[in-house]
Amino acid sequence: MNRRSFISSAGALLASKSLYAALPMQNMQSSSSSHGKADHTLRIEPCTLEISPGVTVKTLAYNGQVPGPTLRLREGVPVTIDVTNASNDPDIVHWHGLAIDSLNDGAMEEGSPMITPGTTHRYSFTPKPSGTRWYHTHAAAYDNLSLGTYTGQFGFLLIEGREQPAHYDQEINLAIHHWEPSFVPMVETMREQSSNSPLTTGSDVGYKYATIQSHRLGSGEPIRVKQGQRVLMRLLNASATENVVLALPGHKFTVIAMDGNPVPNPKSVEVLSLAVAERVDAIVEMNSPGVWVLGSTLPKARDMGLGIVVEYAGKKGTPVWRDPAPAEWDYTQFANTVASTHAPDETFVLTFRDNGPKPGSKFDTWAINNKSWPDIDPLMVESGKRYRLVFRNGSGDQHPMHLHRHTFEVTQIGTKPISGLMKDVINVMPLDTVEVDFVANNPGDTLMHCHQQLHMDYGFMQLIKYRG
């Protein structure tokens, strides 16, 4: 079973209630819960969310809330999580950033089972590594923008290890999401609203609203802080397709971890960039009393709601926004500036391109080395060896590349060699090249893909398979 087969087998069902209706039932069976009570339970169900006064969105969520419940697990301690699907479509949960087995990882391309409506599936795994991970649906959406990561199916997954990331007085988890998606031409007006800034035209997804946590800017409770506090902010971009750039006037973010992994060179910056699915852990020193806006650097994005108020104790008034100084986002500033000392055993050069729409489709097909999922051969690896993936972006779009079940080391961006920066998502800018290394230390089918839902649905995926 695969995403592309949905289109070829469903045909006219593309506009119907569910693309999954065209799939063989034996591929959709979800295993029943094992005996005994699970450690955690999640329920996929319809949810009506009031994101600002008088503005509601209807979506799917976990346990009727957005984000879903924060799951705190202990590294190395086995856990069971029961997921009940109370929606009308088959679904699946991906445990993003964990080095677990393929069956429990939550990607149907790896063999994880879909959860049919009205059934409960038990995930059983031992969480590792520690750090800020997250969980979300890994279902396809295609032209149905009420499914997949366009919905409210996401939540923080915090894996606690022996050591704290840093000293802090308050912890705040902030998830970003965009709402009311629609297909729009990628014209100049759309580019002005999008942090993706694509260089090409074509069909894309636009949004009406944006939230941090579950509210638009100015709605919901502010972040309340005290002068002198050190606040740990965990920021997650849970959008389906939109990259974001954030600032908090009068303050700096000391980045201590990316995608849950400590950075070699913690550094203070005024602006944070988060591609789809990326996480940043940052310490913010609360040393500028007032009422501020933590939000997008784009005015139109803040108008959509992408922001939240930060209020110091004893301070009132209209929240203040000040544009930060222009700054280019540069991963290399958080890494070691020397090349990795580990040579790869093998290198895969992967070129990404937009192949345009297929006959009868208005959506572009994405290709890796001129082949699209599922008509693309897997990359074959051997356990214990080190592999270099050279991501060559031959398109005008940004691509947040995600590798399942493994963490990779970023070894070069453009012409600049670096080392020590460990991630599971890396944003590859238009016409740029990024190199990453991973050790094949977790046997089993492993999915690699662009995390933008529209790109993933239309071919931008490839499997990595272990030999033997």
CATH code of the domain in which 151 resides:
2.60.40.420
Q: In what order do the strands lie in the sheet with 93-96?
A: 71-74, 154-160, 131-137, 93-96
pLDDT of amino acid 6: 38
Spatial CB neighbours of 367, under 8 Å, sequence gap ≥ 6: 352, 353, 354, 355, 459, 460
Residues 310 and 354 in one domain: no
Q: What is the pLDDT of residues 270-294, one digit of tens each?
A: 999 999 999 999 999 999 999 999 9
Claim to verify: residue 14 and residue 77 sit in the same structural domain: yes
Q: How far is CA 70 from the centre of its chain?
A: 16
Structural domain ending residue among the three candidates 137, 160, 183: 160
Residue 73 pLDDT class (50, 70, 90 cuts): very high
Looking at the structure of the chain, the number of domains it has is 3
pLDDT at 297: 97
Shared domain check, 175 and 321: yes
* 432 and 351 belong to one structural domain: yes
Nearest to 404 by CA among 429, 379, 367, 430: 379
**Percent residues over pLDDT 90 in the chain:** 83
Percent of the chain with pLDDT over 70: 89
- Claim to verify: residue 60 and residue 201 sit in the same structural domain: no
Rounded CA gap, 460 and 398, in Å?
13
Same domain membership, residue 369 and residue 262: no
pLDDT band, very low/low/confident/very high, at 468 (cuts 50, 70, 90): confident
The pLDDT tens digits for 330-379 are 999 999 999 999 999 999 999 999 988 777 777 789 999 999 999 999 99
Checking if the pLDDT of 199 tops 90, the result is: no
Q: Is residue 423 part of a domain?
A: yes
What is the reported pLDDT for 138?
A: 98
Domain limits at 355? 346-466
On whether residue 294 sits in a domain, the answer given is yes
Last residue in a domain, options 329, 358, 392: 329
Strands 170-179 and 230-237: parallel
Among residues 329, 357, 387, which one ends one of the domains? 329
User: Once rounded to an integer, what is the mean pLDDT over residues 184-208?
Assistant: 59
For residue 317, count CB atoms less than 10 angstroms from its CB and return exposed for 0-12, middle for 13-18, buried for 19 or more.
exposed
Q: What pLDDT is recorded for position 355?
A: 87
Can you give the pLDDT at residue 34?
Answer: 55
d(CA 331, CA 259): 12
CA nearest to 126, candidates 200, 74, 183, 49: 74
Q: 151 and 192 share a domain? A: no
392-446: pLDDT as tens digits: 999 999 999 999 999 999 999 999 999 999 999 999 999 999 999 999 999 999 9
As separate numbers, helices (DSSP H) first and strands (DSSP E) second, the chain gives: 5, 32
* pLDDT on residue 364: 85
Instruction: Decide if 221 contacts 237 (C-beta within 8 A).
Output: no
**Residue range 141-183, pLDDT digits in tens:** 999 999 999 999 999 999 999 877 789 999 999 999 999 999 8
Tell me: do 180 and 324 sit in the same domain. yes
Instruction: Examine the domain organization and report whether 153 and 174 are in the same domain.
Output: no
**Is residue 316 situated within a structural domain?**
yes
- When computed from its CA atoms, the radius of gyration of the chain, rounded to whole angstroms, is 21
User: Does pLDDT of 24 surpass 60?
Assistant: no
- What would the mean pLDDT of 105-124 be, rounded to a whole number? 98
Q: How confident is the model at residue 196 (pLDDT cuts 50, 70, 90)?
A: low
Judgement on whether residues 21 and 116 belong to the same structural domain of the protein: yes
Quote the mean pLDDT of the chain.
Answer: 90
